[in-house]
Structure 1
Amino acid sequence: MAGLVLASASPRRRELLAALGIEFEVVVPRVVELREGEPDRIVLENARRKARAGLELWTAGRGRATHGVGREAAGSSAAGSGTARPSTLVLGVDTDVALDGRLLGKADDEAGARARLEALSGRTHEVLSGVCVIEGAEAGAGGGERTGVARTRVGFRRLDEREIGGYLASGEWRDRAGAYAIQGLGSTLVDTLQGDLSNVIGLPIALLLQLSPNLGASGSGARKP
C-alpha cells in the first residue's frame, strides 16, 4: 500500500490526520523559508520547500520518523530502504495569518504576541495555508507536484486589555501564527469564521483531499474503519 509522509513537526497536523484515521509517517526537514512577497506566493513556496526537503530526507532514510494512526512509534519508519515507493505521497504545508496584505507569522516574545493580538482585535483576517503533495516516483524531475492554497476568514471580537493580558498569560500564543490557537483558548477571541476550521488549525483537510482524493478512500494513506 502506498504511504503518506508528513513533512512537518506540527503536533496539530499529526492530530488532524490521525483523527481522520489516515496512516502516515513523519519527517522533520529543515528549510529556509521565504519571507518576502505576496502572502499566497509565500505560503505556497514554503509548502513546496518543505515537501521537497521532506521527500529528500525520507528517501535518504535520515532523521527520526513516526507512523501510525494517532500514535507515535519512534524509530519505526519505512525510510532506510534508500528509495521512495512509487506511490509514496509527501505532504508539505505552510500556514500563516494575513492582515492588511502581509503575513504576521509567529511572535518571538510576549511583546510581539501582544502587538499581533491588538492588530487582530475587532477585525477580520485571513488564514492562508499552502499545501504541496509530491509523488515520490516523479519528484526527481520536479513533477508529480499538486499544490493549492486554502483561505479561511476569521473575525476577532474587540478585545480589551484584560482579555489580551489573560490570553498572553496562558502561553498559548507561543509557536502560533498570528499568536493564537483557535482549537484552544483562542476560540474565545473569535467572533466569526468563514471557511475550513481545519485550515486555521494548520492543515486544510478539504484541500488536501481535493489534491489527493485517495487519502479519503482505499489506497494511499487509507483511512482505518
Structure 2
Amino acid sequence: MTRARLTRGKIVDAAVAVADAGGLAQVSMRNVGRELGVEAMSLYHHVKDKSALLDAMVDWIFTRVELPAPDDGWREGMVRRADSARVVLAAHPWALGLIESRRTPGPALLRHHDAVLGCLRRNGFSVELASHAFSAIDSYVYGFVLTELNLPFGESADDFVEEFTDALPMDDYPHLGELGAAIMAGGYQYGDEYRYGLDLVLDSLADRLTN
C-alpha cells in the first residue's frame, strides 16, 4: 500500500492530535512522526524544527477562530470572535499558554489580529482604544476559558456548592453562605457567567467610545 504523501499541513494536524491527547509536553518530532507512521527525520523536510512546529500550531489555532465579518458592527464582531475563541481554546487547552509564549507570528495570527483591529477602527475606535479593547477582550476570554477548564466540577456546580457550603461555618462566612444558597436555588452553571462578563467589558468599551 502506498503511504500518503507527507505535507506540512498533515504534520501540524498530527502535532495538534498529539497535544490534544497528551498535552503540549508530548509534542516532539518523534511523537509526531509516530502519529503519522513515519520516522521523525522525515518531518524536517517540511518543518525546520520543533520551534517552527510550535509556531505552526499557534497559526493552526488562529485559522479556526472566526473573524469579524467585514460588515459587522464593532460589538457584533467582537462577540463573534470572542465566542469562537472560547470554543476553540476550550477544545485545545494547550493553546492558551502556547499562544502567549511564541515570538514568531504566522500569517493566520497576523491576519486575525489585523482583522480584529480593522473591525474596531472602521467603527470609530482610535488606535489607542482599539489596542485597549483587544487586550481587555482577550484577557477576559482567555481567563474565563482557563478558569472553566480547571473548575473542580462539571457544567453544574450544585453538588460541589452543597458540599462546600455544608462544610463552612456560616457564621464566619455569611456572604459565601448567602451566595451558596442562591446558587443552589437557581441551578447555577458557571458557563452562564461568560456572556454577562463579556457584556460588562463591551459596555465599558461602548462608554469609552462615546465619551
Asked if TM exceeds 0.5, the reply is no
TM range (shorter): under 0.3
- TM-score, normalised with respect to structure 1: 0.26
- TM-score, normalised with respect to structure 2: 0.27
> More strand by proportion, 1 or 2?
1
Q: Which fold has the larger relative contact order, with Cα–Cα distance below 8 Å and residues 6 or more apart in sequence?
A: 1
> More helix by proportion, 1 or 2?
2
The structure number with the bigger radius of gyration is 2
